[in-house]
Each structure stands twice: as structure tokens, then as C-alpha cells.
Amino acid sequence: MATGLIDRGYRSFDRLRSRFMVACGSDEFFDTYNDLVYSRKKWAVRMATEGLYPFEQRAISRYFLTPPGTVLIGAAGSGREALALARQGYGVVAFEPIRPLATSLAKTCGALPIESLIGRYQDLPIVRSVSNRSATIDLRSRPSFSAAILSSRSISHLRSDQHCIATLRHFGELTHGPILVSWFPYSGGPTRRFHVNVGLFRSFTGAEIRALAEGAGLEVLYFDDEDDWYAVLRNSTIRPAGVAPV
């Protein structure tokens, strides 16, 4: 029981470190730190083999059109969602801000229909080629995507509501089908936090996510802010056949 003092001491230190980093860290620092955390080789390899999470499987089976179709995936990491969807018969265009991860996906996808690109949400709709650093691609020049995914909780790494709304709006403009987004839920305390294994992240209430979606001109097809904290959104100018928004 006495060793519980160590646990309580670490939790206090972790909270103090988080407050200090949030107050003092620059955007450039957090970009660098987050890239470092998510580019760790063992972590990246493990994530790529996990496949779709149960809530992703439910959302995709209910709201995504059956293959063939091309899915846009942002913050694709080492390809967890991209590889799983490509094996189901979807074409995938996946972009990721960390070059080693995007390059790794390009090498490991083999004959699967995956195009791996480099890009940050803040730079949309412009992304870059993996093979040619100077070559840029405007995703608006591509045919409209049949569906899209903001990779697991990646929207929580955007540091302002303006960035979140702009990102969601870009996805809505590029996609004529459902958009799957998930987030870190608010559980009390500061909404902006830092953790050594996650970097800087924001937590959201369900009402905040709904407000961001509305600001981006997206309607809600499905919303879960109690168990898995995800939503299926869609450009509000497009009405999905046979599915009513909730």
C-alpha cells in the first residue's frame, strides 16, 4: 500500500509536466515532438497489424458504399486503416505528415491499391509525393472520394477550432460520401494536455464536435459521444440515399 505514494507522486508530476508543456511549448516544438512519438518503429509496426477497430468496422459496414470505391485517409500513420480497407477491395489514398511512415506504407502495401502521400491537415488540399519531395498534388484535381477517414483521434492533435473546422471542410469538399472521425473525449480538467506517449492533444465534448461539424458545413449521420467517441459526417449539400441524419 505504501508504494501507492509513488503512483500518486507520478500522477502529480505528470499533471504538472502537462501544464508546463502546454503553457511553454511552441507549435514548431509540438510538430517535431508529435512526429517523433508517432514515428517510433516498434509502435508503428504494431499499429499497422492491428486492423480496424470494432467501431470503425461498424461505421464502415453501415455507412460506406461497398467496394470498389476510393477512400481518403488522413494521418494514416503506418497504414492500419489503409491496409485493412485495401484488403476489402477499396482503393485508398492515404496521407501522413511523417515521411518515414508514409514511405514505409508505400513500400509495404505491395500490390494493394494504396497511394501513400505526405501531408498535414493544415496544408489541405495540397499533399506531396513520397518519391519526389518537390512534387505537390492538389487533391481537388482527383475524382471525388467515395468516403474518408480522419485516422483514429487525429483531429484531437489540431490545436485550434479554426484548424478543426478547416480540416473537416476540406474533407467535405473532397468527399461525396461519409466521413469517419473520432476524438479524445473530455473527462474533466484541462482540454489541452500533453503526454509523453501522445504529445499535445485536445479533448472534446460531444457538443463541441457537433459545433465543429456544423461550422464546416457537415451533417451528422451517426454520433457516439458515450462509448467510442466517433461520428459519421457528410457534406450537408449531399443527401445519402436511404439514410436519414440523426
Report, as an integer, the average pLDDT of 90-118: 93
- For residues 137 and 31, which has the higher predicted lDDT (pLDDT)? 137
Q: Is residue 22 part of a domain?
A: no
Joined grid coordinates for residue 189? 480538467
4 membership: H or E segment, kind and range: helix 4-24
CA–CA gap between residue 222 and residue 220 (Å, rounded): 6
Among 8-17, 32-41, 167-176, 228-237, whose mean pLDDT is lowest?
32-41
pLDDT tens, 45-88?
A: 666 667 899 999 999 999 999 999 999 999 998 899 999 999 99
Its domain, for residue 169, covers 27-235
Cα-Cα-Cα-Cα torsion 137, 140, 144, 149, nearest 10 degrees, comes to 70
What pLDDT score does 246 carry?
A: 44
Alpha-carbon dihedral sign for residues 60, 64, 70, 72: negative
What percent of the chain is modeled with pLDDT above 90? 70
Residue pair 190/19 in contact (Cβ under 8 Å)? The answer is: yes
Q: Is residue 19 part of a domain?
A: no
**CATH number of the domain that 168 lies in?**
3.40.50.150
Q: Is residue 42 part of a domain?
A: yes
The residue to which cell 436511404 is assigned = 242
Q: Is residue 5 part of a domain?
A: no
Report, as an integer, the average pLDDT of 31-41: 80
Q: Is residue 243 part of a domain?
A: no
What pLDDT score does 42 carry?
A: 60
Q: Is residue 79 part of a domain?
A: yes
Helix (H, G, I), strand (E, B) or coil at 118: strand
Q: Is the pLDDT of residue 92 over 60?
A: yes
Q: Is residue 18 part of a domain?
A: no
Q: Is residue 12 part of a domain?
A: no
What pLDDT score does 132 carry?
A: 84
pLDDT tens, 127-179?
A: 999 988 788 999 999 999 999 999 989 999 999 999 999 999 999 999 999 99
User: What is the distance, to the nearest Å, from the Cα of residue 135 to the centroid of all Cα atoms in its chain?
Assistant: 24
- Which residues lie across from 94 on neighbouring strands? 73, 116
The residue to which cell 501544464 is assigned = 19
Q: Determine phi and psi for 154, rounding to 5 degrees.
A: -65, -25
Count of domains for the chain: 1
